[in-house]
Amino acid sequence: MQILIVDDSTAMRKILRRIVETLGFKVVEAGHGIEAMQQLGSFPTTEVALVDWNMPEMNGLDFVKAVRANPLYEQTKLVMVTSETDPTKMARAMMAGADEFLMKPFTAEMLLDKLHLIGLTMPRVC
């Protein structure tokens, strides 16, 4: 099972990678939305993308819209992992097709909660 981590911060990608690898997921990374679309093209069966909001090239909201515009990625769950907490903006992302929000800062437990909420079965119980 594969997770795509989309964040322009290498430190944040590292943190997320460490958590989800512990849960047994394979990980691919992207530093912005355009790179993430390329990664999805290479790995179209990716189960979940963890997506930051503010990124160069293509931001998180535009990435969500692009993913939802392509029926090939219909099954891919999108979790926004972001410091964006303006309810109006969050609602916009949900309307565009995001499945869940995880507000930064977060703990591994909180990420796990969100993965459960989107109905993900963990490859390995930690």
Partner 1 sequence: MALDVQDFEFIRNFLLKRSAIVLDDEKRYLVETRLQPLAQSEGLANVRELVTKMQKTPVNGLHQKVVEAMTTHETTFFRDINPFNALRKSVLPELITARSSTQSLRIWCMACSTGQEPFSVAMLIREYFPQLQNWKISILATDLSMQVLKRAREGVFSQHEMNRGLPSTLMLKYFQRNGMNWQVNEDIRRMIVFQQLNLIEPWPLMPLSDVVFLRNVLIYFDVTTKKSILANVRRIMRPDGTLFLGGSENALAVDDSFKRLEIEQSSVYRLR
Which positions touch partner 1 (CB under 8 A)?
A: 85-87, 90-91, 94, 98, 100-103, 106-107, 109-110, 113-114, 116-117
Smaller CB distance to partner 1: residue 26 or 92?
Answer: 92
Nearer to partner 1, 32 or 114 (CB): 114
- Selection from 61, 1, 59, 65 nearest residue 30 by Cα: 59
Amino acid identity at 100: E
- Taking the complex as a whole, how short is the minimal distance between the CB of residue 108 and partner 1, in angstroms? 11
Q: Supply φ then ψ for residue 84, to 5 degrees.
A: -75, 115
- Pick from 93, 104, 108: which is nearest to 7 by CA? 104
Cβ proximity to partner 1, 74 vs 86, nearer residue = 86
